[in-house]
Protein backbone atom coordinates (compact mmCIF):
# COMPACT_ATOMS: atom_id res chain seq x y z
CA UNK A 1 0.00 0.00 0.00
CA UNK A 2 2.83 2.34 0.88
CA UNK A 3 4.28 1.57 -2.49
CA UNK A 4 1.06 2.68 -4.24
CA UNK A 5 0.84 5.88 -2.17
CA UNK A 6 4.46 6.73 -2.91
CA UNK A 7 3.84 6.28 -6.61
CA UNK A 8 0.85 8.64 -6.55
CA UNK A 9 2.75 11.35 -4.65
CA UNK A 10 5.68 11.06 -7.02
CA UNK A 11 3.38 11.50 -9.99
CA UNK A 12 1.77 14.62 -8.48
CA UNK A 13 5.15 16.16 -7.79
CA UNK A 14 6.23 15.89 -11.46
CA UNK A 15 5.90 19.34 -13.26
CA UNK A 16 3.09 19.58 -15.81
CA UNK A 17 4.41 20.30 -19.32
CA UNK A 18 2.82 23.15 -21.34
CA UNK A 19 0.42 22.06 -24.05
CA UNK A 20 1.82 22.16 -27.56
CA UNK A 21 1.48 25.56 -29.31
CA UNK A 22 -0.85 25.82 -32.32
CA UNK A 23 0.40 29.34 -33.51
CA UNK A 24 1.81 29.56 -37.02
CA UNK A 25 5.50 30.26 -36.78
CA UNK A 26 6.55 33.65 -38.28
CA UNK A 27 7.84 33.32 -41.83
CA UNK A 28 11.21 34.85 -42.33
CA UNK A 29 11.24 37.61 -45.01
CA UNK A 30 13.75 36.93 -47.70
CA UNK A 31 16.25 39.52 -48.94
CA UNK A 32 14.71 39.40 -52.45
CA UNK A 33 11.29 40.37 -51.15
CA UNK A 34 12.70 43.32 -49.22
CA UNK A 35 14.47 44.60 -52.32
CA UNK A 36 11.26 44.24 -54.35
CA UNK A 37 9.33 46.32 -51.83
CA UNK A 38 12.02 48.99 -51.87
CA UNK A 39 11.90 49.10 -55.67
CA UNK A 40 8.12 49.45 -55.68
CA UNK A 41 8.30 52.26 -53.13
CA UNK A 42 10.94 54.03 -55.20
CA UNK A 43 8.74 53.82 -58.30
CA UNK A 44 5.74 55.22 -56.41
CA UNK A 45 7.82 58.09 -55.02
CA UNK A 46 9.09 58.87 -58.52
CA UNK A 47 5.56 58.85 -59.94
CA UNK A 48 4.33 61.16 -57.18
CA UNK A 49 7.25 63.53 -57.80
CA UNK A 50 6.62 63.54 -61.56
CA UNK A 51 2.90 64.21 -61.03
CA UNK A 52 3.69 67.08 -58.67
CA UNK A 53 6.12 68.51 -61.21
CA UNK A 54 3.46 68.27 -63.93
CA UNK A 55 0.88 69.96 -61.70
CA UNK A 56 3.34 72.71 -60.82
CA UNK A 57 4.16 73.23 -64.50
CA UNK A 58 0.46 73.45 -65.37
CA UNK A 59 -0.12 75.89 -62.53
CA UNK A 60 2.85 77.97 -63.62
CA UNK A 61 1.63 77.87 -67.24
CA UNK A 62 -1.78 79.28 -66.33
CA UNK A 63 -0.17 81.78 -63.99
CA UNK A 64 1.93 82.99 -66.90
CA UNK A 65 -1.11 83.11 -69.19
CA UNK A 66 -3.21 85.13 -66.78
CA UNK A 67 -0.29 87.26 -65.69
CA UNK A 68 -0.36 88.55 -69.29
CA UNK A 69 -4.03 89.52 -68.95
CA UNK A 70 -4.73 93.22 -68.63
CA UNK A 71 -7.64 95.56 -69.22
CA UNK A 72 -6.69 95.41 -72.90
CA UNK A 73 -6.84 91.60 -73.20
CA UNK A 74 -4.21 88.86 -73.27
CA UNK A 75 -0.88 90.41 -74.14
CA UNK A 76 2.33 88.49 -74.79
CA UNK A 77 5.65 90.03 -75.73
CA UNK A 78 9.20 88.89 -76.37
CA UNK A 79 11.84 89.36 -73.68
CA UNK A 80 13.36 92.31 -75.52
CA UNK A 81 9.95 93.86 -76.19
CA UNK A 82 10.46 94.00 -79.96
CA UNK A 83 7.33 91.96 -80.70
CA UNK A 84 3.96 91.97 -78.97
CA UNK A 85 0.64 90.26 -79.68
CA UNK A 86 -2.73 91.01 -78.08
CA UNK A 87 -5.78 88.75 -78.14
CA UNK A 88 -9.07 90.25 -77.08
CA UNK A 89 -12.76 90.62 -77.78
CA UNK A 90 -16.02 92.14 -76.64
CA UNK A 91 -19.63 91.05 -76.19
CA UNK A 92 -22.72 93.28 -75.87
CA UNK A 93 -26.05 91.68 -74.94
CA UNK A 94 -29.06 94.01 -75.19
CA UNK A 95 -32.64 93.79 -73.92
CA UNK A 96 -35.05 96.33 -75.42
CA UNK A 97 -38.65 97.49 -75.06
CA UNK A 98 -40.56 99.90 -77.34
CA UNK A 99 -43.72 101.95 -77.14
CA UNK A 100 -45.07 103.65 -80.28
CA UNK A 101 -48.50 104.46 -81.76
CA UNK A 102 -49.73 101.59 -83.92
CA UNK A 103 -50.22 103.89 -86.92
CA UNK A 104 -46.59 105.03 -86.76
CA UNK A 105 -45.30 101.53 -86.13
CA UNK A 106 -47.14 100.14 -89.15
CA UNK A 107 -45.77 102.93 -91.35
CA UNK A 108 -42.15 101.93 -90.72
CA UNK A 109 -40.38 99.59 -93.13
CA UNK A 110 -40.27 97.05 -90.29
CA UNK A 111 -42.27 97.31 -87.05
CA UNK A 112 -40.56 98.02 -83.75
CA UNK A 113 -40.36 94.84 -81.69
CA UNK A 114 -39.11 94.34 -78.17
CA UNK A 115 -36.62 91.59 -77.59
CA UNK A 116 -33.06 90.58 -76.87
CA UNK A 117 -30.12 90.61 -79.24
CA UNK A 118 -26.39 90.13 -79.37
CA UNK A 119 -25.41 93.66 -80.39
CA UNK A 120 -21.71 92.84 -80.68
CA UNK A 121 -19.56 89.71 -80.55
CA UNK A 122 -16.10 90.84 -81.61
CA UNK A 123 -12.83 88.95 -81.76
CA UNK A 124 -9.58 90.90 -81.95
CA UNK A 125 -5.98 90.04 -82.75
CA UNK A 126 -3.38 92.76 -83.13
CA UNK A 127 0.25 93.40 -82.41
CA UNK A 128 3.70 94.59 -83.39
CA UNK A 129 6.48 92.53 -84.95
CA UNK A 130 10.18 93.40 -84.63
CA UNK A 131 9.45 97.02 -83.69
CA UNK A 132 8.50 97.76 -87.29
CA UNK A 133 5.42 95.93 -88.58
CA UNK A 134 1.99 96.45 -87.02
CA UNK A 135 -1.19 94.54 -87.77
CA UNK A 136 -4.82 94.23 -86.66
CA UNK A 137 -7.60 91.74 -87.32
CA UNK A 138 -11.05 92.36 -85.88
CA UNK A 139 -14.39 90.87 -86.85
CA UNK A 140 -17.92 91.20 -85.44
CA UNK A 141 -19.77 87.88 -85.43
CA UNK A 142 -23.02 89.23 -83.98
CA UNK A 143 -24.81 89.17 -87.35
CA UNK A 144 -23.83 85.58 -88.10
CA UNK A 145 -27.44 84.51 -87.43
CA UNK A 146 -28.81 87.15 -89.82
CA UNK A 147 -29.71 84.76 -92.64
CA UNK A 148 -31.94 87.08 -94.68
CA UNK A 149 -29.79 88.22 -97.59
CA UNK A 150 -30.49 89.42 -101.11
CA UNK A 151 -28.79 87.21 -103.71
CA UNK A 152 -28.29 90.28 -105.90
CA UNK A 153 -26.74 92.43 -103.20
CA UNK A 154 -25.67 90.15 -100.34
CA UNK A 155 -24.80 91.55 -96.94
CA UNK A 156 -21.93 89.80 -95.15
CA UNK A 157 -22.92 88.05 -91.95
CA UNK A 158 -19.49 88.71 -90.47
CA UNK A 159 -18.65 92.41 -90.27
CA UNK A 160 -14.96 93.14 -90.63
CA UNK A 161 -13.74 96.24 -88.83
CA UNK A 162 -9.98 96.77 -88.44
CA UNK A 163 -8.04 94.51 -90.81
CA UNK A 164 -4.78 96.16 -91.80
CA UNK A 165 -1.01 95.98 -91.76
CA UNK A 166 1.28 98.96 -91.32
CA UNK A 167 4.29 100.48 -89.65
CA UNK A 168 5.27 103.42 -87.46
CA UNK A 169 8.36 105.56 -88.10
CA UNK A 170 9.77 102.92 -90.46
CA UNK A 171 10.55 104.86 -93.64
CA UNK A 172 9.50 108.30 -92.42
CA UNK A 173 7.92 109.77 -89.27
CA UNK A 174 4.33 108.74 -88.69
CA UNK A 175 2.00 105.79 -89.05
CA UNK A 176 1.11 104.25 -92.42
CA UNK A 177 -1.51 101.52 -92.76
CA UNK A 178 -2.86 99.42 -95.64
CA UNK A 179 -6.24 97.72 -95.43
CA UNK A 180 -9.67 98.03 -93.87
CA UNK A 181 -9.60 100.72 -91.17
CA UNK A 182 -11.63 103.22 -89.21
CA UNK A 183 -12.36 106.70 -90.61
CA UNK A 184 -14.02 108.82 -87.92
CA UNK A 185 -14.99 112.42 -88.59
CA UNK A 186 -15.77 113.26 -84.97
CA UNK A 187 -14.86 112.61 -81.33
CA UNK A 188 -17.99 110.49 -80.92
CA UNK A 189 -17.15 108.32 -83.93
CA UNK A 190 -13.54 107.87 -82.78
CA UNK A 191 -14.62 106.56 -79.36
CA UNK A 192 -14.45 102.77 -79.21
CA UNK A 193 -17.71 100.87 -78.76
CA UNK A 194 -16.11 99.60 -75.53
CA UNK A 195 -16.09 103.12 -74.13
CA UNK A 196 -19.20 104.89 -75.50
CA UNK A 197 -21.38 106.27 -72.68
CA UNK A 198 -24.69 105.46 -74.47
CA UNK A 199 -25.95 102.24 -76.00
CA UNK A 200 -25.84 103.84 -79.46
CA UNK A 201 -24.17 106.88 -80.98
CA UNK A 202 -26.29 109.86 -82.03
CA UNK A 203 -28.62 109.78 -85.04
CA UNK A 204 -26.35 112.31 -86.77
CA UNK A 205 -23.47 109.83 -86.63
CA UNK A 206 -25.69 106.97 -87.79
CA UNK A 207 -26.87 108.92 -90.84
CA UNK A 208 -23.80 110.93 -91.83
CA UNK A 209 -20.67 109.02 -90.73
CA UNK A 210 -21.51 105.38 -90.04
CA UNK A 211 -21.93 104.50 -93.72
CA UNK A 212 -18.19 105.00 -94.31
CA UNK A 213 -16.77 104.58 -90.80
CA UNK A 214 -14.72 101.63 -92.11
CA UNK A 215 -13.20 101.64 -95.61
CA UNK A 216 -10.42 99.77 -97.38
CA UNK A 217 -7.51 101.98 -98.39
CA UNK A 218 -4.17 103.48 -97.39
CA UNK A 219 -3.84 105.94 -94.52
CA UNK A 220 -1.22 108.14 -92.92
CA UNK A 221 -1.27 109.53 -89.40
CA UNK A 222 1.10 111.38 -87.13
CA UNK A 223 1.04 113.02 -83.72
CA UNK A 224 3.02 115.88 -82.22
CA UNK A 225 3.30 117.79 -78.96
CA UNK A 226 3.23 114.67 -76.74
CA UNK A 227 0.35 113.25 -78.84
CA UNK A 228 -1.77 116.32 -78.16
CA UNK A 229 -2.07 117.17 -81.87
CA UNK A 230 -2.93 114.44 -84.40
CA UNK A 231 -3.42 114.40 -88.18
CA UNK A 232 -5.07 111.54 -90.08
CA UNK A 233 -5.55 111.17 -93.88
CA UNK A 234 -7.00 108.20 -95.78
CA UNK A 235 -7.52 107.41 -99.47
CA UNK A 236 -10.00 104.56 -99.72
CA UNK A 237 -12.45 102.70 -101.90
CA UNK A 238 -16.11 103.63 -101.21
CA UNK A 239 -18.64 100.94 -100.46
CA UNK A 240 -16.46 98.73 -98.26
CA UNK A 241 -18.18 99.55 -94.97
CA UNK A 242 -18.87 96.03 -93.70
CA UNK A 243 -16.44 93.97 -95.76
CA UNK A 244 -12.84 94.23 -96.86
CA UNK A 245 -13.63 94.41 -100.58
CA UNK A 246 -15.42 96.80 -102.93
CA UNK A 247 -15.60 96.63 -106.71
CA UNK A 248 -17.01 99.00 -109.32
CA UNK A 249 -16.46 99.91 -112.96
CA UNK A 250 -15.74 103.60 -112.37
CA UNK A 251 -12.68 103.35 -110.11
CA UNK A 252 -13.84 106.15 -107.82
CA UNK A 253 -12.11 106.75 -104.51
CA UNK A 254 -12.84 108.73 -101.35
CA UNK A 255 -10.47 111.05 -99.49
CA UNK A 256 -10.89 111.50 -95.75
CA UNK A 257 -8.99 113.61 -93.26
CA UNK A 258 -9.17 114.66 -89.61
CA UNK A 259 -7.22 117.05 -87.42
CA UNK A 260 -7.77 117.11 -83.68
CA UNK A 261 -5.95 118.21 -80.58
CA UNK A 262 -6.00 118.73 -76.82
CA UNK A 263 -5.06 122.35 -76.11
CA UNK A 264 -5.66 121.58 -72.43
CA UNK A 265 -4.59 118.22 -71.04
CA UNK A 266 -3.69 117.14 -67.52
CA UNK A 267 -4.77 113.60 -66.81
CA UNK A 268 -3.19 113.57 -63.35
CA UNK A 269 -5.46 116.43 -62.32
CA UNK A 270 -8.30 114.87 -64.36
CA UNK A 271 -9.10 117.67 -66.76
CA UNK A 272 -8.76 118.02 -70.54
CA UNK A 273 -10.25 119.81 -73.54
CA UNK A 274 -10.62 118.37 -77.03
CA UNK A 275 -11.20 120.32 -80.28
CA UNK A 276 -11.27 118.79 -83.73
CA UNK A 277 -12.86 118.32 -87.10
CA UNK A 278 -12.95 115.96 -90.07
CA UNK A 279 -13.82 116.08 -93.77
CA UNK A 280 -14.66 113.48 -96.40
CA UNK A 281 -15.18 113.75 -100.16
CA UNK A 282 -15.58 111.05 -102.76
CA UNK A 283 -17.72 109.28 -105.27
CA UNK A 284 -20.36 106.68 -104.56
CA UNK A 285 -20.44 103.10 -105.73
CA UNK A 286 -22.71 103.03 -108.81
CA UNK A 287 -23.37 106.75 -108.17
CA UNK A 288 -25.75 105.91 -105.30
CA UNK A 289 -26.03 107.45 -101.85
CA UNK A 290 -28.56 107.53 -99.03
CA UNK A 291 -29.21 109.05 -95.63
CA UNK A 292 -30.91 106.92 -93.00
CA UNK A 293 -31.09 106.62 -89.24
CA UNK A 294 -32.22 103.82 -86.96
CA UNK A 295 -33.58 103.81 -83.39
CA UNK A 296 -31.11 104.74 -80.66
CA UNK A 297 -31.99 101.47 -78.93
CA UNK A 298 -32.09 98.41 -81.19
CA UNK A 299 -33.03 94.75 -81.11
CA UNK A 300 -33.04 91.88 -83.54
CA UNK A 301 -31.06 91.30 -86.71
CA UNK A 302 -30.19 94.05 -89.16
CA UNK A 303 -33.27 93.57 -91.33
CA UNK A 304 -35.48 93.71 -88.21
CA UNK A 305 -34.25 97.21 -87.31
CA UNK A 306 -36.44 99.83 -89.03
CA UNK A 307 -35.35 103.15 -90.52
CA UNK A 308 -36.89 106.09 -88.66
CA UNK A 309 -35.44 108.49 -91.23
CA UNK A 310 -34.75 107.33 -94.77
CA UNK A 311 -34.14 109.16 -98.05
CA UNK A 312 -34.06 106.00 -100.10
CA UNK A 313 -31.52 105.68 -102.90
CA UNK A 314 -30.20 108.98 -104.24
CA UNK A 315 -28.20 109.25 -107.46
CA UNK A 316 -25.43 111.67 -108.30
CA UNK A 317 -22.29 111.65 -110.40
CA UNK A 318 -20.84 114.39 -108.20
CA UNK A 319 -18.73 113.94 -105.11
CA UNK A 320 -20.57 113.40 -101.84
CA UNK A 321 -19.04 115.54 -99.10
CA UNK A 322 -19.34 115.28 -95.33
CA UNK A 323 -17.74 117.07 -92.42
CA UNK A 324 -17.86 117.13 -88.65
CA UNK A 325 -16.61 119.57 -86.03
CA UNK A 326 -16.94 119.80 -82.28
CA UNK A 327 -15.46 119.81 -78.82
CA UNK A 328 -15.44 117.73 -75.66
CA UNK A 329 -14.16 118.45 -72.18
CA UNK A 330 -13.83 116.71 -68.83
CA UNK A 331 -13.16 118.05 -65.36
CA UNK A 332 -13.06 115.47 -62.59
CA UNK A 333 -16.36 113.63 -62.46
CA UNK A 334 -18.03 115.87 -65.06
CA UNK A 335 -17.79 115.71 -68.88
CA UNK A 336 -19.57 117.75 -71.55
CA UNK A 337 -19.44 117.59 -75.34
CA UNK A 338 -21.18 118.67 -78.54
CA UNK A 339 -20.55 118.07 -82.24
CA UNK A 340 -22.11 119.00 -85.58
CA UNK A 341 -22.15 116.95 -88.78
CA UNK A 342 -23.19 117.94 -92.29
CA UNK A 343 -23.47 116.14 -95.63
CA UNK A 344 -23.67 117.76 -99.08
CA UNK A 345 -24.71 115.92 -102.26
CA UNK A 346 -24.82 118.14 -105.37
CA UNK A 347 -26.84 117.43 -108.51
CA UNK A 348 -28.89 114.69 -106.93
CA UNK A 349 -31.63 112.67 -108.58
CA UNK A 350 -34.30 110.24 -107.47
CA UNK A 351 -35.17 106.99 -109.28
CA UNK A 352 -31.96 107.14 -111.33
CA UNK A 353 -29.62 109.43 -113.23
CA UNK A 354 -30.83 111.49 -116.22
CA UNK A 355 -31.96 109.20 -119.00
CA UNK A 356 -33.55 106.75 -116.55
CA UNK A 357 -37.32 106.34 -116.62
CA UNK A 358 -39.00 108.54 -113.94
CA UNK A 359 -35.70 110.22 -113.06
CA UNK A 360 -36.46 113.22 -110.85
CA UNK A 361 -33.99 116.07 -110.35
CA UNK A 362 -33.64 117.09 -106.70
CA UNK A 363 -30.87 119.66 -106.99
CA UNK A 364 -28.27 120.04 -104.25
CA UNK A 365 -29.12 118.18 -101.06
CA UNK A 366 -27.87 118.98 -97.58
CA UNK A 367 -28.40 116.85 -94.48
CA UNK A 368 -27.26 117.81 -91.01
CA UNK A 369 -27.34 116.85 -87.38
CA UNK A 370 -25.82 117.51 -83.98
CA UNK A 371 -25.77 116.31 -80.40
CA UNK A 372 -25.11 117.71 -76.93
CA UNK A 373 -24.32 115.38 -74.05
CA UNK A 374 -23.36 115.61 -70.39
CA UNK A 375 -21.86 112.92 -68.15
CA UNK A 376 -21.45 112.89 -64.37
CA UNK A 377 -19.99 110.25 -62.05
CA UNK A 378 -21.70 109.73 -58.70
CA UNK A 379 -18.56 107.96 -57.55
CA UNK A 380 -15.06 109.54 -57.50
CA UNK A 381 -14.29 108.44 -61.06
CA UNK A 382 -13.32 110.17 -64.28
CA UNK A 383 -13.52 109.83 -68.07
CA UNK A 384 -10.00 109.76 -69.55
CA UNK A 385 -9.29 110.69 -73.17
CA UNK A 386 -7.57 108.69 -75.89
CA UNK A 387 -5.28 111.37 -77.30
CA UNK A 388 -4.22 109.65 -80.52
CA UNK A 389 -7.66 108.32 -81.44
CA UNK A 390 -9.33 111.55 -80.34
CA UNK A 391 -12.14 109.93 -78.33
CA UNK A 392 -13.11 108.79 -74.85
CA UNK A 393 -10.78 106.32 -73.15
CA UNK A 394 -11.47 103.41 -70.84
CA UNK A 395 -13.04 104.05 -67.43
CA UNK A 396 -11.16 102.28 -64.63
CA UNK A 397 -13.25 102.43 -61.44
CA UNK A 398 -11.47 103.64 -58.33
CA UNK A 399 -13.33 101.00 -56.33
CA UNK A 400 -14.16 98.07 -58.64
CA UNK A 401 -16.96 95.71 -57.76
CA UNK A 402 -15.70 92.57 -56.00
CA UNK A 403 -17.38 89.29 -54.95
CA UNK A 404 -18.42 88.53 -51.39
CA UNK A 405 -15.51 87.78 -49.12
CA UNK A 406 -15.59 84.60 -47.09
CA UNK A 407 -14.05 86.15 -44.00
CA UNK A 408 -16.51 89.01 -43.58
CA UNK A 409 -19.44 87.94 -45.75
CA UNK A 410 -19.39 91.33 -47.44
CA UNK A 411 -18.22 92.57 -50.81
CA UNK A 412 -15.68 95.28 -51.43
CA UNK A 413 -16.23 98.12 -53.88
CA UNK A 414 -19.31 99.55 -55.59
CA UNK A 415 -17.85 100.04 -59.04
CA UNK A 416 -18.31 103.35 -60.84
CA UNK A 417 -21.78 104.88 -61.23
CA UNK A 418 -22.45 107.45 -63.93
CA UNK A 419 -25.43 109.55 -65.03
CA UNK A 420 -25.68 110.41 -68.74
CA UNK A 421 -27.96 112.75 -70.70
CA UNK A 422 -28.02 113.62 -74.40
CA UNK A 423 -30.09 115.58 -76.91
CA UNK A 424 -29.53 114.97 -80.61
CA UNK A 425 -31.27 115.98 -83.82
CA UNK A 426 -31.10 114.91 -87.47
CA UNK A 427 -32.55 116.55 -90.59
CA UNK A 428 -32.18 114.21 -93.57
CA UNK A 429 -32.76 116.80 -96.32
CA UNK A 430 -32.99 120.43 -95.40
CA UNK A 431 -34.29 121.58 -98.80
CA UNK A 432 -36.33 118.48 -99.55
CA UNK A 433 -38.85 117.76 -96.74
CA UNK A 434 -40.61 114.45 -96.59
CA UNK A 435 -37.71 112.15 -95.83
CA UNK A 436 -38.05 112.84 -92.15
CA UNK A 437 -36.28 114.39 -89.20
CA UNK A 438 -35.85 113.10 -85.69
CA UNK A 439 -35.07 114.61 -82.32
CA UNK A 440 -34.19 112.37 -79.37
CA UNK A 441 -33.72 112.83 -75.64
CA UNK A 442 -31.68 110.08 -73.97
CA UNK A 443 -31.24 109.50 -70.24
CA UNK A 444 -28.89 106.83 -69.01
CA UNK A 445 -27.21 105.21 -66.02
CA UNK A 446 -23.92 103.39 -66.45
CA UNK A 447 -22.63 100.96 -63.84
CA UNK A 448 -18.98 100.05 -64.41
CA UNK A 449 -18.28 96.87 -62.43
CA UNK A 450 -14.60 97.11 -63.29
CA UNK A 451 -12.47 98.23 -66.22
CA UNK A 452 -13.81 95.41 -68.42
CA UNK A 453 -17.46 94.90 -67.49
CA UNK A 454 -20.45 97.21 -67.14
CA UNK A 455 -24.23 97.52 -67.31
CA UNK A 456 -26.00 100.31 -69.19
CA UNK A 457 -29.57 101.53 -68.74
CA UNK A 458 -30.98 103.88 -71.42
CA UNK A 459 -34.35 105.55 -71.87
CA UNK A 460 -34.96 107.32 -75.20
CA UNK A 461 -37.83 109.57 -76.26
CA UNK A 462 -37.84 110.27 -80.02
CA UNK A 463 -40.00 112.70 -81.99
CA UNK A 464 -40.37 112.01 -85.74
CA UNK A 465 -41.40 114.87 -88.03
CA UNK A 466 -41.32 115.94 -91.69
CA UNK A 467 -42.29 112.50 -92.92
CA UNK A 468 -44.40 112.07 -96.06
CA UNK A 469 -46.89 109.91 -94.19
CA UNK A 470 -47.11 109.51 -90.42
CA UNK A 471 -45.38 111.65 -87.79
CA UNK A 472 -45.34 110.91 -84.10
CA UNK A 473 -43.26 109.97 -81.08
CA UNK A 474 -41.90 106.75 -79.69
CA UNK A 475 -40.22 105.60 -76.49
CA UNK A 476 -37.60 102.95 -75.91
CA UNK A 477 -35.96 101.35 -72.89
CA UNK A 478 -32.76 99.36 -73.15
CA UNK A 479 -30.43 97.41 -70.86
CA UNK A 480 -26.99 96.29 -71.95
CA UNK A 481 -24.57 93.81 -70.38
CA UNK A 482 -21.13 94.51 -71.82
CA UNK A 483 -17.79 92.84 -71.29
CA UNK A 484 -14.52 93.12 -73.16
CA UNK A 485 -11.06 91.68 -72.75
22 pLDDT higher than 50? no
How far is 469 from 180, CA to CA, in rounded Å?
Answer: 39
Question: What whole-number distance in Å separates Cα of residue 18 and Cα of residue 285?
Answer: 119
Give the domain ranges of the chain.
86-484
Residue 461: Cβ within 10 Å count? 15
Burial class (CB in 10 A: 0-12, 13-18, 19+), 483: middle
User: How far apart, in whole angstroms, are the C-alpha atoms of residue 205 and residue 339?
Assistant: 10
User: Given pLDDT bands bounded at 50, 70 and 90, which one contains residue 403?
Assistant: confident
Q: What is the pTM of this model?
A: 0.82
Q: What's the topology of domain 86-484? A: Porin (2.40.160)
pLDDT value at 148 more than 70: no
Q: Provide the β-strand partners of residue 260.
A: 230, 276
Q: How many whole angstroms from its chain centre is CA 416? A: 19
pLDDT at 60: 65
The neighbour count for residue 242, using CB atoms within 10 Å, is 18
Mean pLDDT of the region 28-42: 76
Q: How confident is the model at residue 248 (pLDDT cuts 50, 70, 90)?
A: low
Q: Which of 465, 123, 478, 421 is nearest to 305 (CA)?
A: 478
Q: Where are the beta strands (DSSP E) in 112-237?
A: 115-129, 133-140, 159-168, 175-182, 214-224, 229-237
Length of the chain, please?
A: 485
For the stretch 179-229, pLDDT in tens is 999 999 999 999 999 999 999 999 999 999 988 888 889 999 999 999 999
Convert the pLDDT of each residue in 423-476 to its tens digit: 999 998 766 667 889 999 999 999 999 999 999 999 999 999 988 888 999 999
User: What is the structure's pLDDT at 14?
Assistant: 52
Q: What are phi and psi of 423, to 5 degrees?
A: -120, 130
pLDDT one-digit tens code per residue, 351-400? 999 988 888 999 999 999 999 999 999 999 999 999 999 999 999 999 99
pLDDT in tens, 296-321: 999 877 778 899 998 888 999 998 99
Angstrom distance (rounded) from CA 447 to CA 385: 19
Amino acid sequence: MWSLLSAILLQCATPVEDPPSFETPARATSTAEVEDLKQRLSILEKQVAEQKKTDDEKSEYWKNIFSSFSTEGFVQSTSDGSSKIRLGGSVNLDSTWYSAPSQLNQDLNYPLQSGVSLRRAVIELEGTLWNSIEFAFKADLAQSTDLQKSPNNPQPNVFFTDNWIGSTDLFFPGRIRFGHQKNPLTFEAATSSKNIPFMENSAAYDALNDNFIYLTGISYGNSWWDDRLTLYVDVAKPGSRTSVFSVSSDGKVAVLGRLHGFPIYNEEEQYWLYLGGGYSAGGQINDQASVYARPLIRSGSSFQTPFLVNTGNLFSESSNQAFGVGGFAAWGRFALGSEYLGSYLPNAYQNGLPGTVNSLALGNLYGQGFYVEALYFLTPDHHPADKIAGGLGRVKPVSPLRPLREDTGAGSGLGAWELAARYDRLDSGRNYPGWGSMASWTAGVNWYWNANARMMFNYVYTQLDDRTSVNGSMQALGIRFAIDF
